[in-house]
Structure 1
Amino acid sequence: MKLVWSPEMASKAYIDTVKSCEIFHESGVAELVSAMAAGWNAKFIVETWSQGGPTATSVGLAVASCHTGARHVCIVPDERSRSEYVRAMNEADMSPEVIVGEPEEVMDRITDIDFLVVDSKRKDFARVLRLAKLSCKGAVLVCKNASWKGASGFRWRSVTDGGSRRLVRSVFLPVGKGLDMAHVGSNGGASSSGKGEGRGRWVKHVDQRSGEEHVIRK
């Protein structure tokens, strides 16, 4: 069994996220991440969030979870972050599950993740990716704020080498402050970077209002 792409689910989540994120007056990252999570029919979506961070991406993931029936968990480092996050999400009429604790510690307690979003501004983001216990069918891993100077030396090979994971595809998208995404398989087989499996392809979409380019796999 493996992740199977659904363009219909991706499109529905994308459109619903555009509507839900109008209050944030921004476009791009939330819509794309939502479309990816829904398109891959994710069943366990996990994200990390810290106090002061934007919640538009969280709203997008919540929208995707509604379409796929997924469990959506946000990991926050402390109670102050939890309170701020819950308040912001309630304003957007969303209520994902929240776990308090350092991401590295929490990752040891949760399993079968098939869609994971981390913030490249956190110095431990690469370690969180390595420690994540992924689904046996594979997973999609997303680093937001990937253009942050602290993430300049990151390579997906550091997450997949020396273990049971294999890198199926990775791509960097100049959306928002940069999205670095990878499709990771859990079983053996040839790996690749920037090349897809089967007949899937990445399609560019230009937002008519903002002029931003979004890339979605179909």
Structure 2
Amino acid sequence: MKLVWSPDTASKAYIDTVTTCKKFTESDHVELISAMAGGWKPRLIIEAWSIGSNITTSIGLGIAARHLGARYVCIVQNKRAKLEYESAMNNHGSPVPELVVGDAKDVMARLPEVEFMVVDGRRKDLHELFRMAKLSHRGAVLLCTNGRQCFMNGFGWELVIGDKSRLVRAAVIPVGQGLYIAYVRKKRESDKALVRKCSRWITRIDQKTGEEHVFRG
């Protein structure tokens, strides 16, 4: 089952985010993230924030969550990060979402199925955060901000989604510092059947020479 796109909610989230974040510089990626969250209509939005990061992504996700009536959880590394995050959100007059403090393994084990997740590419545990996420039966949209840093750290979706998940679609968007986006879903029996089918031996006859060529498909 695929996620259902809602253009109405996406446009509302986008417009409200543009209005709210127009005073910030380098906020172009925030509107896109907010619109994507609004369009996919997740029941749970997860963000992994990093100390020193721009707070606008959180503002945009908060706007989308309010339009959707969705649960919005932000993961921070420690108490210092929690205080800095709360201060930044309060300074901009934005509601502070549900905050969770802890390492990737502990935090992700306590969260239910993920449908929409945004991780700051500067976090050292970004691979673990994505890898430990329990995907919804509908699949999940995963985003990595500060993509230049992701690239420097050798980031790749195949490295983080694990054997139980399948990368359906991925893209790199040149906004902000780069935005990595992926749609991932759990592997099903039909996927295994497709792999078996594609692994069969295939025979082809060269019409000009009459030679028989055998290769694995």
TM range (shorter): 0.7 to 0.9
Looking at structure 2, the residues matched to 140 and 151 of structure 1 have their Cα atoms a distance apart, in angstroms, of: 22
CA-CA distance at 1:95 after TM superposition: 2.0
Q: Which residue of 2 aligns with 1:194?
A: none
Shift of 1:162: 1.4
Shift of 1:68: 1.0
Offset from partner CA, 1:11-43 (integer Å, 9 cap, x none):
111110011112323331110100111100011
CA distance, structure 1, for counterparts of residue 60 and residue 184 of structure 2: 21
Shift of 1:149: 6.1
In 1, the alpha carbon distance for the partners of 2:66 and 2:13 equals 9
Q: Quote the offset at 1:187 in angstroms.
A: 4.1
User: How far apart, in 2, do the equivalents of 1:116 and 1:128 lie?
Assistant: 10
Report the alpha carbon displacement of residue 130 of structure 1 after superposing the two structures with TM: 0.7
Deviation for aligned residue 1:161: 4.3
- Structure 1 149/27 Cα, relative in aligned 2: closer, same or farther at 3 Å? closer
Paired residue secondary structure (2:72)? strand
Please tell me whether residue 41 in structure 1 is matched to residue 41 in structure 2.
Answer: yes
Over the matched positions of the two proteins, sequence identity in percent amounts to 48
What is the deviation of 1:129? 0.4
CA distance in 2 between counterparts of 1:53 and 1:159 reads: 22
Matched residue type, 1:140: V
| Structure 1 residues 151 and 43: alpha-carbon distance in aligned structure 2, compared to 1, 3 A threshold | farther
Aligned length: 190
Alpha-carbon offset, residue 78 of structure 1: 1.1
Residue pairs, 1:1-218, within 5 angstroms = 1-90=1-90, 91-148=92-149, 151=152, 153-163=154-164, 165-188=165-188, 189=190
The separation in 2 between residues aligned to 1:135 and 1:92, in whole angstroms, is 32
**Deviation, structure 1 residue 135:** 1.3
Unaligned runs of 5+ in 2: 193-217
Contact 1:121–1:150, Cα closer than 8 Å, also in 2: no
- State the Cα deviation string for residues 101-150 of structure 1 (Å, max 9, x = none): 12332111111111111111122211210111121211100000111265
The residue matched to 1:177 in structure 2 has which SS? coil
